[in-house]
Amino acid sequence: MAVAGSTGPVMSREEVDRALARLASEHEAIEVSLLALQDHAGRRLLEGTALSGLTKERWASVEPVIPALWDHFEVYGAALRAARELRGDRRWPPSGDLAGLTETLRGAGVTVPGGVLPDVGHDAPGDPVLLAEPTGLERLAERMNDWYAEVIAVVTAADAVWSALPARVDLLSAEARRVESLARSVGVRPSEHPAGDDLEELTAELAALRAEVVADPLAFWLPAKGRRAGGGRPDTRRYERAERELEDIRREVEAVLHVREDAEHRLMRLRDVLSRADRTLTEARSARGEVLARIAGSVVPAVSGPSAALHERLAVAVGYHRAGHWHRLSPLLDDLEEHADDELQRARASLTAVTAPLAVRAELRGRLDAYKARAARHGTADDPLLVERYDQARRLLWSAPCDLRAAEGAVLRFQQAVAEALAPAAEGAADGGGSGG
């Protein structure tokens, strides 16, 4: 039976051997981790960068842990070697040796350097200053693992952010400079175009973002939920928002660039549309005079003149084109194209409205001639009544001014006379067909 000591029951030989093997493995793992930490790029950057904010606070908290880790590691290695020498290769170690090993492994048989303990891990802040602190190898390994986890969490998080964001921000800044050069070539400048103002603000935001990322990387770290330390990912939301804003600005600048490339063609089309509208209005005014002279009693709408405002704005657009003010030309061309098309439709509607009486007269003339030809095909064109009514309708339609109402009535009477003249012939044909049956 194991004898109870100051730290509890004395460990058996098997328990000591298992503990020594486990702690030896811990020693190797801790050494590998400390060497990796020593050479870690994130650690070197943290030591050589002017930090601020959360990163400065966290690094100030964990940086003193690194030399403390090495000090504890040296004590740990020396105590482990001493314990293994004490254990030796004896099959049945004396009980006094087992008691000493128990004290070293689980009790307070190991003394570490004194001083204020780092404010990490399970050690509470404000621990008193001690010349030396007794502990055991198992607690010492646990403490070093806790301290290392705190340090490596800060180092890896900062390194992950520095690896992910500054290079991407630099690439986006380079793209912003390219867009800015393109924007200036088409006149998109700050205080002259909204996209120019947006681009200036975005450039300043990217510079500020990079400076903040470099000085305070932990402010851009999103820890993983449900994990104690080490998990997480860089917070790229500000970068992604800037990326979207730059894409919107780029599209707007390219739209202005397309205006520069298409401006000559669009201006030519605008001149053509307005010219056709003017010619159509001129034709409508001429037709109105003809209608008033040739059609009696007609209500003919007035015809307005060309749109002086559209011609003035077209002249402004031409001036923008010559001066290379593409950002101002773009919205003006869009508006002019819409109103020019409307102006052409208005001119065509005016021409249709004023020529309506002439169209009615032409339709009546065509109907009169069509019925005369029909009567001729049936051999009734020489009927005195038909001749009389045809001549009456023709005089009304070809006189100036023409009374459309009277002419329409005369044409209608001629149609009725033709229909009556053809009716007996149709009845005779029907009777002949019945007799033949």
Mean pLDDT of 53-81: 86
- pLDDT interval class at 1 (50, 70, 90): very low
- Report pLDDT digits (tens) over 261-311: 888 888 999 999 999 999 998 888 888 888 887 777 667 788 888 888 899
Following DSSP, what letter does each residue of 315-360 receive, concatenated?
Answer: HHHHHHHHHT-HHHHHHHHHHHHHHHHHHHHHHHHHHHHHTHHHHH
- pLDDT interval class at 5 (50, 70, 90): very low
CB atoms within 10 A of CB 412: 14
CB atoms within 10 A of CB 277: 23
- Report pLDDT digits (tens) over 356-410: 888 888 898 898 889 888 888 888 778 888 888 888 888 888 887 888 888 888 8
Q: What is the chain's length?
A: 437
Asked if pLDDT for residue 124 goes beyond 50, the answer is no
Rounded CA gap, 212 and 242, in Å? 15
β-sheet bridge partners, residue 402? 295
- pLDDT at res. 7: 56
- pLDDT interval class at 248 (50, 70, 90): very high
CB 161 within 8 A of CB 220: yes
In this structure, are strands 402-403 and 295-296 parallel, antiparallel, or unpaired?
Answer: parallel
CB atoms within 10 A of CB 155: 22
Chain mean position to CA 358? 58
- Report pLDDT digits (tens) over 191-244: 878 888 999 999 999 999 999 999 999 999 998 876 554 588 999 999 999 999
- pLDDT at res. 432: 54
